[in-house]
Amino acid sequence: MRFLDSAKIWLKSGDGGAGSISFRREKYIEFGGPDGGDGGRGGHVIARCVDDLNTLIDFRYKQHFKAQRGMHGMGRQRTGKTGDDVLLKLPVGTQILAEDGETLIADMTEPGQEIVLARGGDGGRGNIHFKSSTNRAPRRAEPGWPGEERWVWLKLKLLADAGLVGLPNAGKSTFLSAVSRARPKIGDYPFTTLEPKLGTIEFDDDGFVMADIPGLIEGAHEGKGLGDRFLGHVERCSVLIHLVDATQEDVADAYRTVRAELLAYGHDLGDKPEIVCLSKCDALDEESLEEQAHLLAEAARRPVHRVSAASGQGTRPVLGEALELVRERRRTEREQRAERREG
């Protein structure tokens, strides 16, 4: 299935049905009077969050959604049938934005969460509502109210706990495949990963989700390479795992390049906890590895993990540190939810 993380769609809720103009005409009832029923309400357009989707590919082939209009009212005070709703099923992590692409309407983060994006128009009143002491036979009924119409943007931001970032060919896909059951495409050329990949990490009777983000290059925030379009998928991460290829000539420059792109992107990515790893350590001798690790630690101003996805060297300490940061974030979120409930 192809990955799609952005879509613009048009929504139209159903118009309300018109009220009825009707009079009772029955044998032995001399003064029947008005009995026109109300029109039915138009259908809503509803978005529902489901947990068995991970892409917006369904909205590539259909961008217009229109709910059914309400049926007209009928005689004998019969109300018209309510129009059928349109249900949009969205993956967990989808943001719904207004047509300007910036105003947030809803953030769908929990399975089962629902929001009405366009309300159906109310049905018009039948002539029975207009009877009065001075107008015993009203020939007036209301038309149905029109439904709502709007364009919205759907933006998917994967709900991953940890995000893998780095230059192309830094070993991110190999790392993900080594520590999880994910099987991303791996190749000896840049931009092997063309879309984010997820893997579930099981560690000491606990676990978390890791996202592999396509490689960044200098100028990504200006659209170079694959640009920064996929960085939104690590906005929700608790921790970033920054991989730097040990076989590169200048590991410090490689680190600073990716950091500059994270800061240029904004959305507080530069402030997230970061675990720095020197990858492909099995390709260097001990002396060269020590030198590269020293240069990277100076540039990052933090301890550097030495890892090799091919041999499994150093992966467990990285996962342990990442899990601790994920647990800390989860505790903070639980406390915040509890405070909101109490407030």
The annotation status of 282 as a binding-site residue, yes or no, is yes
The annotation status of 214 as a binding-site residue, yes or no, is yes
Tokens read off for 283: 């390709």
The annotation status of 215 as a binding-site residue, yes or no, is yes
* CA pair distance 220, 228, nearest whole angstrom: 5
The annotation status of 212 as a binding-site residue, yes or no, is yes
The annotation status of 173 as a binding-site residue, yes or no, is yes
Length of the chain: 343
The annotation status of 171 as a binding-site residue, yes or no, is yes
Distances in Å between the alpha carbon of 189 and those of 94, 178, 183, 197? Answer: 32, 19, 17, 18
* CA pair distance 287, 285, nearest whole angstrom: 6
The annotation status of 168 as a binding-site residue, yes or no, is yes
The annotation status of 166 as a binding-site residue, yes or no, is yes
Question: Roughly how many angstroms between the first and final C-alpha of the chain, as a whole number?
Answer: 43
One-letter identity of residue 31: F
The annotation status of 308 as a binding-site residue, yes or no, is yes
- Residue 136 φ/ψ region, left for φ over 0, alpha for ψ in the -120 to 50 degree band, beta for the rest: alpha
Tokens read off for 235: 């906005």
The annotation status of 184 as a binding-site residue, yes or no, is no
Tokens read off for 234: 């690590």
The annotation status of 169 as a binding-site residue, yes or no, is yes
Residues with Cβ within 8 Å of 121's Cβ and at least 6 positions away in sequence, in order, are 13, 14, 15, 16, 41, 42, 69, 70, 144, 145, 146, 147, 148
The annotation status of 257 as a binding-site residue, yes or no, is no
β-pair partners for 296:
none
The annotation status of 192 as a binding-site residue, yes or no, is yes
Tokens read off for 23: 């009079």
The annotation status of 252 as a binding-site residue, yes or no, is no
Instruction: Please compute, for residue 314, the number of CA atoms within 13 A of its CA located in the half-sphere on the CB side.
Output: 17
The annotation status of 279 as a binding-site residue, yes or no, is yes
Cα pseudo-dihedral 47, 53, 58, 64, rounded to 10: 0
The annotation status of 310 as a binding-site residue, yes or no, is yes
Tokens read off for 223: 């659209």
What are the residue ranges of helices labelled H in the chain?
A: 58-61, 172-179, 251-265, 286-300, 315-342
Annotated binding-site positions: 166-173, 191-195, 212-215, 279-282, 308-310
Annotated binding-site positions for GTP: 166-173, 191-195, 212-215, 279-282, 308-310
Annotated binding-site positions for Mg(2+): 173, 193
